[in-house]
Structure 1
Amino acid sequence: MNDDSAVLLHVAGARRWQTKRADEISLVMPDSSPSPLQRSRQSAKPMAGTTHRPSKPSPPPHAPKRLAPSRAPLASLALLLLAAAGILLYSQSQTTPPSSQIDVRSSESPALSSPTVESIDGARAIWELPAAPARAVLFVAHGCRCRPENFWPPSQSCPGCVGLPEDVAITARALRRRFAVLAVASNEECWSLEQEVGATKRAIQSWTAKNGLGERPVFALGASSGGYFVSRLATEMNLAAVVIMISEGAFGPAGAPAGYPPAMFLHMPKDHRRAASVERNMKMLRGNGVEVKEVRSVELPLTPTLLSDRIPGLDHGLSERILKMFSEEGFVDDRGYMRKDGRATPWKDAVVKRGFWEEVSRWAEHIQEELNLAYGYHEMTSLQADEMFDWIEEHLT
């Protein structure tokens, strides 16, 4: 029904009833509260990376109003006002809800609900295709003592998935930008630069062919040990571009061979030794005619809602209690910055001592990743994910 038709119907009704007495008319605004936040997949972490859970909206500014009882001469006016209110409510229902009611986390990190877990040429792999036809393939290589399960949250199709926030946010953004995502497990705790390069190349080629992606460009992203690995993988297979995260890459004395793909170094300059190595390898690559992009990820302070903002499902109240404990234990300075790397901070013992480990335990790995990220020394990061994917998309052919 359009607005003109609604007006005509309401006016006609008013004329039919204008001789009747209107005892009382109440205009009550509908409940505008959003539905409860649902945990996806994903965030999808997500991710440029920071996502926010919407706060509870304020009460509607218009409280329920009552019109005073009126005699027949006023009934028509009252009913016309009711008709106008109905039209206004109808039109409001067709518009986008206020930003305070939008689930920002779900819009940033769409649900990852259908990953496939399988063995590809003997290697454990997890992969997912985007909802729309894929434009390209993103191969992701985990770091030491990590696993493909970090890149997807637990689901019916992947009950063993962990879903670490930074990893999941990268997967979510890749899928939203129509990249098919493939993660393969290393044979040991860390990647072997000699034995696994050839096997992984064959696994990627086998998987892309099986899923009709053989003609799509392939990009590779690796963090830490995975960064060394993808830098070496780029010398053995045709990659459209490579992202080397918190790693200087492994090139050997001969440097990069001819035809090496464009390379992004996404690193944390607080790690001075690695930052110097990154600078040296970027200079070498540029000298060999390779396109190079540098992105730096720096430390950030712990705020009361940092953990709940970045970890889907973690409660705001729990996030605030953890930060309060960090402050009282001296784990952060006066500005909220971590005094030590998250791995070197005895925060778990402090939580146990204060008696709320049961609430925290299910989030321990997720919190650990965010503490490492906040310290800004060596951790998977999605803070610059949009900048990274913008650069990757420049190399789509």
Structure 2
Amino acid sequence: MIQQEQQHLDVISQIPPNPRAVLFIAHEGNGSPLTYWEPQPQQPNCTGVPDHVAIVKHALSRGYAVIAIKSVKSFWQDWPPQASQDAHNVVSVLVSWTAQHGLERAPIVGLGSGSGGNFLSMLALTIKFSALVLMVSPGLHKALERAKMAPASTYPPVLFVHMPKDQTTASKIHSHEQLLRAKAIPVAQVCCEEFPIAPFYFAAHIPGFGSDASTKLHAAMQAEGVIDGLGRVLSAPRPPDVCLMLEKFDVLPLQRDDHSYARLLAEHIHSLMRVAQGRHATTGRKCPEIFNWLDNQVWGHPLLPNFPHPKPPPIATSQYRLPFSKFHHGN
């Protein structure tokens, strides 16, 4: 039986001038839409993880209206589709939101990271996406198996964005790529390798974190054995350990030594270290390749990015009141 209750669903969106398409973002496990936008006076709860923000900014510059929705639990409910409260929520919100903003006929593409990628691969059995980007996610085998053979299939083209150093995920992606190719469904890969970090790496990606602090942090990481002499990441310390390092080496910028800022900064540093380590992380480093591919799937060729608007489009946060379905096995 299905019990109907009510729930509030947090949604964040941003629409550029003259949007060409819609990008739905399914965050990673234990994640949140709040990490994809920088904090602003009107949106103080956003946390702005650098690589996540890069994805949204690049999407907006290409003319994509961006919407992100919070999963019900820490990880997306991906199977079976008919029992997924997340699937019900996303379909309901997308229908309502696109109608509200006159985007009903706009192409919709999806980008999901980790658990969000698995969820998207299932959701594509329900929603007509023009293309999917599965980041550090092989997709859900049951969903990809259920996709029909082209040309009868409505399953969208799939781009796997992954880090070969994560051999388990890479192996599954290789298997799923073969599965999709056998169904004549377009599929491609973008690989994100590890890379050494320079002293200015953190200053270049974290707003307000100066070059002096970045250089000091880089030296501290070498002293702690976190990176080697060439800047290669040997380990990605967890945020609490990053906080201890910031305090031990007096890295925090002057007048910004409050604990809340330190915690947020540590989260950003940890995320940047994981990207450089190239093991398993949401990354914005390959945005040009990703959005060229998306443009090709939607319009047949890459579109020139829109130049940044003098006044950035407003960020909208909404709470959707939806029926919440609890699924129980009944006699």
155, 160, 172: which one aligns with 2:40: 155
2:201 counterpart of 1:306: yes
2:285 counterpart of 1:395: no
2:29 counterpart of 1:144: yes
Contact 2:114/2:136 (<8 A) preserved = yes
96, 110, 119: which one aligns with 1:220: 110
Q: Deviations over 1:133-169 (max 9, x none)?
A: 1100000011112111111111132111111111111
53, 58, 61: which one aligns with 1:173: 58
Name 1:210's counterpart in structure 2: 100
90, 93, 96: which one aligns with 1:200: 90
In structure 1, how many angstroms separate the alpha carbons of the residues matched to 2:216 and 2:276? 17
Q: Which amino acid aligns with 2:126?
A: E
Name 1:123's counterpart in structure 2: 9
Q: Which amino acid aligns with 1:295?
A: V
Q: TM-score, normalised by structure 1?
A: 0.67
Name 1:329's counterpart in structure 2: 224
Name 1:381's counterpart in structure 2: 283
Q: Which runs of 4+ in 1 moved over 4 A?
A: none
Q: Which amino acid aligns with 1:155?
A: Q
Name 1:15's counterpart in structure 2: none
Contact 1:135/1:179 (<8 A) preserved = yes
Name 1:293's counterpart in structure 2: 188
Q: Which amino acid aligns with 1:213?
A: L
158, 165, 174: which one aligns with 1:270: 165
* Shift, 1:356, TM fit: 3.9
Name 1:52's counterpart in structure 2: none
Contact 1:301/1:338 (<8 A) preserved = yes
Q: Deviations over 1:269-327 (max 9, x none)?
A: 00001100000001100111110010000111121001111222211111000000011
Q: Higher RCO, 1 or 2 (CA under 8 Å, sep at least 6)?
A: 2
* Shift, 1:367, TM fit: 1.0
211, 215, 224: which one aligns with 1:320: 215
Which structure has more strand as a fraction of its residues? 2
Percent pairwise identity: 31
Q: TM-score, normalised by structure 2?
A: 0.79
1:396 is paired with a residue whose SS is helix
In structure 2, how many angstroms separate the alpha carbons of the residues matched to 1:381 and 1:234? 22
2:88 is paired with a residue whose SS is helix
Q: Which amino acid aligns with 2:275?
A: L
**Which segment is superposed worse, 308-317 or 165-174?**
308-317
In structure 2, how many angstroms separate the alpha carbons of the residues matched to 1:266 and 1:183? 19
Q: Which amino acid aligns with 1:125?
A: V
* Shift, 1:129, TM fit: 0.5
The number of aligned residues is: 277
2:74 counterpart of 1:189: yes
Contact 2:110/2:132 (<8 A) preserved = yes
In structure 1, how many angstroms separate the alpha carbons of the residues matched to 2:123 and 2:105? 19
Q: Please say which structure displays the higher CA radius of gyration.
A: 1
Contact 2:227/2:233 (<8 A) preserved = yes
In structure 1, how many angstroms separate the alpha carbons of the residues matched to 2:8 and 2:182? 39
* Shift, 1:353, TM fit: 2.5
Q: Which amino acid aligns with 2:193?
A: V
Contact 1:141/1:226 (<8 A) preserved = yes
Unaligned 5+ residue runs, structure 2? Answer: 1-5, 300-331
RMSD between superposed Cα atoms in Å: 1.9
Name 1:25's counterpart in structure 2: none
In structure 1, how many angstroms separate the alpha carbons of the residues matched to 2:239 and 2:68? 29
